[in-house]
């Protein structure tokens, strides 16, 4: 996560529940233990050790990627972070040099959106899910982030990004870094890149910080009051950005893909373990050898 300079255009969101139709994947999602250290988030600072218990680090040859725990068995990440070779998920991670509370679980099923084609010139449909070989126990260090199902979205606050990616020094961070960013319009964002940024994507920027190499797959989140208590919701997935981490970053719009996510969870939540990538749209299995 890198500190940058520039001008931010502020666009924000909040979630308002509608009785009867809206629900959360996990009722105890998005909560965290309070710490005396206080928040350290502006400009890519060290995170509070308890502030992001849903953050995971993907253990794979390359690239370095992050992800977020969304249920006791599934991790949400970017499609370009998913590979055929063995992948493990490290949970409870904070300081990679001091893994006191972290542990690894192998991913026994990897699902990427059928529309993603691994073409480096476009990152549409950049969303994937990893199923864990064994379900996790929630704790102060391991807890899912909230995903809002059938929730209306309206403008309000800035978002937070988190990851172990490159800092301004050009090196990956040992300690989890966090920072605030603000949404900008897709049309403005499209001017930064040769590819079109559409409704299935979000674009965020801040004058002091940006996601960088190694932050891919991590969550774009916001802490919101949901039915009288504060919980953290994921609204985006780090997809791609500028080479020098000094411009707007594009995120996969999680709300746009909620039906796809729910379909995958329904289709594969109780299936036997297999070691392969499957492609599906709304839970329908597609030939992985397409």
**Pick the catalytic residue: 172, 173, 209, 216?**
216
* Residues whose CB falls within 8 Å of the CB of residue 36, separated by 6 or more in sequence, listed in order: none
* Spatial separation of the C-alpha atoms in residues 83 and 217, rounded to whole Å: 13
Told to judge if 216 belongs to the known catalytic residues of this protein, a careful annotator would answer: yes
- β-strand partners of 107: 132
Active site residue 210: no
Q: Is 190 a catalytic site residue?
A: no
Which listed residue (80, 108, 173, 210) is catalytic?
A: 80
* C-alpha distances in Å from residue 99, one per residue of 96, 104, 137: 6, 10, 17
Tokens of 154: 């309206």
d(CA 50, CA 281): 35
Tell me the pairing of strands 103-113 and 55-59: unpaired
- Name beta bridge partners: 157: 13
Specify whether the CB–CB gap between 206 and 189 falls below 8 A: no
Pick the closest to residue 157 from 115, 124, 123, 204 (CA basis): 204
- Measured CA to CA, the distance from residue 171 to residue 98 in angstroms comes to 18
Q: Which of 48, 108, 126, 215 is catalytic?
A: 126
Residues with catalytic function? 80, 126, 216
């Amino acid at each position: 996560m890198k500190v940058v300079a520039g001008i931010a255009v502020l666009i924000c969101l909040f979630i308002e529940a509608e009785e009867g139709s809206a629900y959360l994947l996990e009722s105890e999602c998005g909560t965290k233990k309070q710490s005396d250290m206080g928040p350290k988030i502006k400009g890519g600072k060290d995170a509070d050790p308890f502030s992001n218990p849903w953050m995971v680090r993907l253990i794979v040859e390359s690239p370095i990627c992050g992800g977020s725990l969304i249920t006791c068995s599934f991790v949400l990440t970017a499609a370009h972070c998913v590979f055929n070779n063995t992948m493990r998920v490290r949970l409870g991670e904070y300081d990679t040099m001091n893994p006191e509370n972290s542990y690894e679980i192998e991913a026994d099923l990897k699902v990427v959106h059928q529309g993603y084609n691994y073409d480096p010139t476009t990152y549409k449909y950049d969303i994937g899910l990893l199923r864990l070989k064994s379900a996790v126990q929630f704790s102060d260090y391991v807890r899912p982030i909230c995903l809002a199902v059938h929730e209306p979205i309206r403008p309000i606050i800035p978002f937070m990004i988190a990851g172990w990616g490159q800092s301004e020094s050009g090196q990956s961070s040992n300690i989890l870094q966090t920072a605030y960013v603000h949404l900008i319009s897709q049309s403005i964002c499209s001017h930064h890149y040769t590819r079109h940024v559409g409704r299935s994507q979000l674009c965020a920027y801040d004058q002091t910080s940006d996601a960088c190499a190694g932050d891919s797959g991590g969550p774009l989140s916001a802490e919101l009051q949901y039915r009288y208590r504060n919980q953290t919701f994921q609204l985006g997935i780090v997809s791609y950005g500028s080479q020098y981490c000094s411009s707007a970053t594009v995120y996969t719009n999680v709300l746009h893909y909620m039906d796809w996510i729910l379909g995958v969870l329904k289709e594969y939540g109780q299936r036997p373990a297999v070691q392969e990538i499957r492609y599906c749209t709304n839970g329908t299995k597609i030939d992985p050898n397409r």
